[in-house]
A and B are shown apart, each in its own frame.
Chain A
Amino acid sequence: MLLALAVIGVVYAALSPETGRAEATVSASVKDVTEGKRLFDQSCASCHGLNAEGTKTGPSLIGVGAAAVDFQVGTGRMPAANPGAQMPRKRPVFDDQQTKALAAYVASLGGGPAIPSKEQVDPATGDAALGQSLFITNCAQCHNFAGGGGALTGGKKAPDLHETTPSHIYSAMITGPQAMPVFNDTTVTPEQKRAIIAYIVETREEPNPGGFGLDRLGPVSEGLVGWVVGLGLIVAAAVWITAKQREND
């Protein structure tokens, strides 16, 4: 019975207009959903409930969509080792196939945003210049101008974007994981999302023309280097040439 419902869910999710773009879900087979259900029962149900309806320790997953699962599980944030203010990124517990299965199962429970297609997140086709202006108005206040990440209140932080895959960036924007707001398709259109991805990927891949990038942290690391390396070396030179000097020459 439950299985039948799940299959109907998948079919609905694949056909419903809001997730119509998601080819990934279309391929989700009954086998995936069954496998996903098995993994869910093993690793997720203790916090999210046996039917993903949510418990005191974990939110309901009905309607969060495949994209949310792909992001949370694919970046290793879920399953969480230790529920805290924020789940840290870590080595994923599940492989791609298992993640897809879990995503298919969760999507079957109530639809929601689908995993974006390759084309939707292709940095090569995005407009990085447009992405730049979108990034500094929407993302930089938490993730920093170069995607280096930053501190948030309440023990949370915005992670750096150095490793995040284009697909996960897209999923994060449409699902708003943890402290991040949702940037739905009316706020930031899919084309603009691709532009942002293009900007992030191009920025992190471009070399630092000025030498060592000092972690692209801005004036804090620059000031540290200025004092420790700059002034440090010069004062060492002052000590050295004074010590080498013959007295009353």
Chain B
Amino acid sequence: MTTPPTPKALGGVGTYIDDRFHSARFAGVNLRKVFPNHWSFMLGEIALYSFIIILLSGTFLTFWFNPSMHEVVYDGSYTKLHGVTMSQAYESTLRISFDVRGGLLMRQVHHWAALIFIAAMFVHMLRVFFTGAFRKPRELNWLIGATLLILGFVEGLLGYSLPDDLLSGMGLRIAEGVLLSIPVVGTYLMFFLFGGEFPGHDIIPRFFTLHVLLIPGIMLALVVAHFMILWHQKHTQYPGKGKKESNVIGTPMYPAFAVKAGAFFFFVFGVTALLGAFAQINPVWLYGPFTPAAISSGSQPDFYMGWLEGSLRVFPAWEINAFGYTLALSVLIPALGIPGLVFTPLIIWPFLEQWVTGDKRQHHVVDRPRNAPVRTAFGMSGVTLYGLLWLAGANDVISERLDVPLYGTTWFFRFALILGPIIAFIVTKRICLGLQRRDAAAASHGYESGIIKQLPSGEFIEVHQLLTEDAETVAVAKKEVPALAAAVDGDGVPSPGSRSMMGRVRSRLHNFVVKDDIPVGEPHGNGHGDGHGGRPELGEAEAEERKELRH
């Protein structure tokens, strides 16, 4: 292909910029940057694009939102609430919804984009986790991602609190209760945050500053860091023909990926705008202004906080009263202990896994989830725990809609939260090992072609055909977990590392990871004689077709 000459006007601009920034080389390299072609690599982009939508729609909202607890009497367009005393925060939210042109649409876009943002971070994180893409050298980017997720939760909670409607107030009430449950310093922390007794006049303006300035600022910085590290370290890729640790196969940034990513931004924006236009979210006018004496049934936080709501709902009412003090275990454990139980493994996982497996190799070709059964099983039990807690947070709605007794759901979740993750772990691990066996069998014996052949002796056999080159690469992609340094050296002297308690824990865990290992199947070529013919014709035709597509 010959490059057509650059149009004169463009060339002039290019030269002007290049003379000043020496950008030609930089652009030349980066415009050819390769992005792998798999849809699951777009999940993180959903988060990026919805974050942009949130920033823009949120900026619009700040033009009219008044983060003040000052009391006013409503006299706006929503006549049903005429004469109701409310805070300026709530009043201005109603004004945005009913009197500002496009205000309700922007509010709804902002809220839907926030839900999609956090949901996208979730699925992106699950993709990275289950494929082991967090492994060396990408551990730090995992940390940044986990921080972004947690900050997303916090940012969402702050935003949920700002309109000062009944629902926000109930969320704040729980936040207050959680702070109060902290031993010794809880009361001080609560008074510090709220500027006095609940709800006070300070909380909304304070949350507003955090919501529009501090947290998004930190998040934006982390998003940039996340992206620059990704750019520098390059993408991981799924195993396949020609895919190596030393290359990235995919589409160059310019023009194809730029078009794809640009189009994808508009998909994300389009779906968010559609939801904003057609699906009502957080109808603050129905909730009414917050008064500490009121509460509504079916009060839930936004979905990402639902799991904490659930842990609070199903935890037994334990508390310790001693020396005139109360330790509210029924709040402290579910609201602070459970998040610790979930977030700690999430944050330290890459380092924990590296320590247990002793795998310090660089990984650019990702694992298939089945090839790391313990990790996948652990991840699935985490997903199960999270999902059950999340459902428990909606237990009254479940009870009401499905006609099951409310306390029945509580007891169900109490047992399910303990048994569910264990069952999920065992089942997932077995499924992974089964899939590994199938891969190993396919790699060494080929796949069952469905062709039945009668031999001259009269025997019937099913013809096995060799995998295509691509499928074979995938089937044998599993990398063995390296063995730990022997606990005892040649002279029978125990190594210092394995003698300590941590050393013993480590070798136990290592053994747990590798004990069920299925050896990688080696292809046998044509070694079995009949029935193991060359590459199947279909595969060849397909390969031919692909070749043509590439022209």
Query: What separation, in Å, do the CA atoms of A227 and B115 have in the docked complex?
Result: 8
**A158-B297 contact given A145-B166, A222-B281, CB 8 Å threshold:** yes
**A249-B167 contact given A217-B397, A242-B42, CB 8 Å threshold:** no
Identity of the chain A residue whose Cβ is nearest the Cβ of B551 in the assembled complex: A246
Q: Residue B394 at the A interface, CB < 8 A?
A: yes
Chain A residues contacting B119 (CB-CB under 8 Å) are 226-227, 230-231
Which of B37, B303, B399 touches A219 (beta carbons < 8 Å)?
B303
Tell whether, in the assembled complex, residue B43 and residue A235 are in contact, meaning their CB atoms are under 8 Å apart.
yes
Query: What separation, in Å, do the CA atoms of A202 and B79 have in the docked complex?
Result: 11
Q: Residue B278 at the A interface, CB < 8 A?
A: yes
**A151-B251 contact given A146-B286, A246-B549, CB 8 Å threshold:** no
Tell whether, in the assembled complex, residue B81 and residue A214 are in contact, meaning their CB atoms are under 8 Å apart.
no
Q: Residue B484 at the A interface, CB < 8 A?
A: no
Which of B45, B123, B406, B546 touches A153 (beta carbons < 8 Å)?
B406
Chain A residues contacting B38 (CB-CB under 8 Å) are 242
- When each residue 146-169 of chain A gets 1 if its CB lies under 8 Å from chain B and 0 otherwise, what string results? 101111111101100000000000
Residues of A199-249 whose CB lies within 8 A of B? 199, 202-203, 206, 208-214, 216-220, 222-223, 225-227, 229-231, 233-235, 237-239, 241-243, 245-249
Chain A residues contacting B166 (CB-CB under 8 Å) are 136, 140, 145
Residues of A120-162 whose CB lies within 8 A of B? 127-130, 132-133, 135-137, 140-146, 148-155, 157-158
Q: List 24 A-B contacts (CB under 8 A).
A: A130-B83, A136-B295, A140-B166, A145-B167, A149-B297, A209-B97, A210-B108, A210-B279, A210-B281, A219-B167, A220-B300, A222-B115, A222-B279, A223-B303, A223-B306, A226-B115, A227-B119, A234-B267, A238-B39, A238-B45, A241-B260, A241-B264, A245-B37, A245-B260
In addition to A234-B268, A241-B267, 5 A-B residue pairs with Cβ atoms within 8 Å of each other are: A145-B288, A151-B397, A233-B267, A241-B263, A242-B260
Query: What separation, in Å, do the CA atoms of A241 and B262 have in the docked complex?
Result: 11
Tell whether, in the assembled complex, residue B279 and residue A214 are in contact, meaning their CB atoms are under 8 Å apart.
yes
Chain A residues contacting B252 (CB-CB under 8 Å) are 249
Residues of B240-270 whose CB lies within 8 A of A? 249-252, 256, 260, 263-264, 267-268
Interface residues of A (CB under 8 A from B): 127-130, 132-133, 135-137, 140-146, 148-155, 157-158, 199, 202-203, 206, 208-214, 216-220, 222-223, 225-227, 229-231, 233-235, 237-239, 241-243, 245-249
Q: Residue B400 at the A interface, CB < 8 A?
A: yes
Identity of the chain A residue whose Cβ is nearest the Cβ of B281 in the assembled complex: A222
CB distance from A159 to the nearest CB of B (A): 10
Q: Residue B176 at the A interface, CB < 8 A?
A: no
Query: What separation, in Å, do the CA atoms of A203 and B303 have in the docked complex?
Result: 25
Q: Residue B343 at the A interface, CB < 8 A?
A: no
